[in-house]
């Protein structure tokens, strides 16, 4: 079992029966009293950031996690099926674990964080950007690029995003999957 001297950024530990990842830490040795380690940790399942202070020498339980690339195949009932493109192993991810399912496209490559000892998926991360075709939007007005006015548009995945007025049906756009915001038009 490890102790607080083994803490480093990115380390995953079990804390209060939850998996957390160390974002940052600081070892403090005050002039009076015992040393301690002040940490900022992110809960892996929820993404919630916590501050916690460990006393120096406190025992911690290190958990090995692995980040693997999987390709999205299809939806099956209450879960999504992903495939490891190296060994063709398939894994079902419950729909509660997918943050923005409206941006999932067939054959999209996503990162899945696994608990290495238990082979259990913990977190699914979509790629940062999605390039998709606009399947429907109101007709654009040529030359209307001076304002920041946006209009609704439906993309190939069925998601609705807001795009500038000059975007037309059939054009390809880039979307930030974390926020669902239009980034730019992609030239073919």
**Would you say residue 1 has pLDDT above 80?**
no
Would you tell me how many other CB atoms lie within 10 Å of the CB of residue 126? 20
Question: Which domains are seen in the chain, by residue range?
Answer: 2-62 (2.30.30.30), 65-125 (2.40.50.140), 129-186 (2.40.50.140)
Radius of gyration of the chain (CA): 22
Q: What is the side-by-side order of every strand in the sheet holding 2-3?
A: 2-3, 59-62, 12-15, 18-28, 36-43, 49-55
pLDDT surpassing 80 at residue 146: no
Closest by Cα among 128, 126, 122, 94 to 12: 122
Express each pLDDT in 72-85 by its tens digit.
999 999 999 999 98
| Chain centre to alpha carbon of residue 64 | 19
- What's the confidence (pLDDT) of residue 144? 61
> What's the pLDDT score for residue 152?
92
Tell me the mean pLDDT in the region 64-68: 89
The residue written with tokens 């996690």 in the block is 65
How many residues belong to the chain? Answer: 188
User: According to the model, what pLDDT value does residue 95 have?
Assistant: 87
Mean pLDDT for the chain?
88
**Whether the Cβ atoms of residue 14 and residue 21 lie closer than 8 Å to each other:** no
CA distance 179 to 14: 29
pLDDT at 150: 86
* Cβ-Cβ contacts under 8 Å for 88 (sequence gap 6 or more): none
Q: Say if residue 60's pLDDT is above 80.
A: yes
Which pLDDT band, with edges at 50, 70 and 90, does 143 fall under? low
User: For residue 142, what pLDDT band results from cuts at 50, 70 and 90?
Assistant: low
Bridge partner list, 129: 176
Task: Give residue-wise pLDDT tens across range 91-120.
Answer: 999 988 888 889 999 899 999 988 888 888
At residue 103, the 3 state secondary structure works out as: helix
Break the chain down into helix, strand, coil percent, rounded to 5: 5, 55, 40
pLDDT tens for each residue of 33-56: 899 999 999 888 888 899 999 998
pTM for the whole structure: 0.75
Distance from C-alpha of 138 to C-alpha of 130, rounded to nearest angstrom:
21
């Amino acid at each position: 079992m490890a102790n607080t001297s083994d803490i480093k950024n990115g380390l995953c530990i079990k804390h209060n029966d939850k998996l957390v990842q160390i974002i940052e830490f600081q070892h403090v040795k005050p002039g009076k009293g015992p040393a301690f380690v002040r940490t900022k940790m992110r809960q892996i399942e929820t993404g919630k950031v916590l501050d916690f202070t460990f006393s120096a020498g406190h025992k911690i339980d290190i958990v090995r996690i692995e980040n693997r690339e999987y390709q999205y195949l299809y939806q099956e009932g209450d879960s999504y099926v992903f495939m490891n493109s190296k060994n063709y192993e398939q894994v079902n991810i419950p729909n509660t674990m997918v943050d923005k399912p409206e941006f999932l496209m067939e054959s999209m490559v996503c990162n899945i964080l696994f608990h290495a000892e238990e082979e259990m998926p913990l977190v699914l991360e979509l790629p940062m950007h999605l390039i998709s075709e606009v399947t429907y939007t109101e007709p654009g007005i040529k030359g209307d690029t001076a304002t920041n006015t946006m209009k609704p548009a439906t993309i190939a995945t069925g998601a609705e995003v807001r795009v500038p007025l000059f975007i037309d049906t059939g054009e390809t756009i880039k979307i930030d999957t974390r926020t669902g915001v239009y980034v730019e038009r992609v030239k073919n």
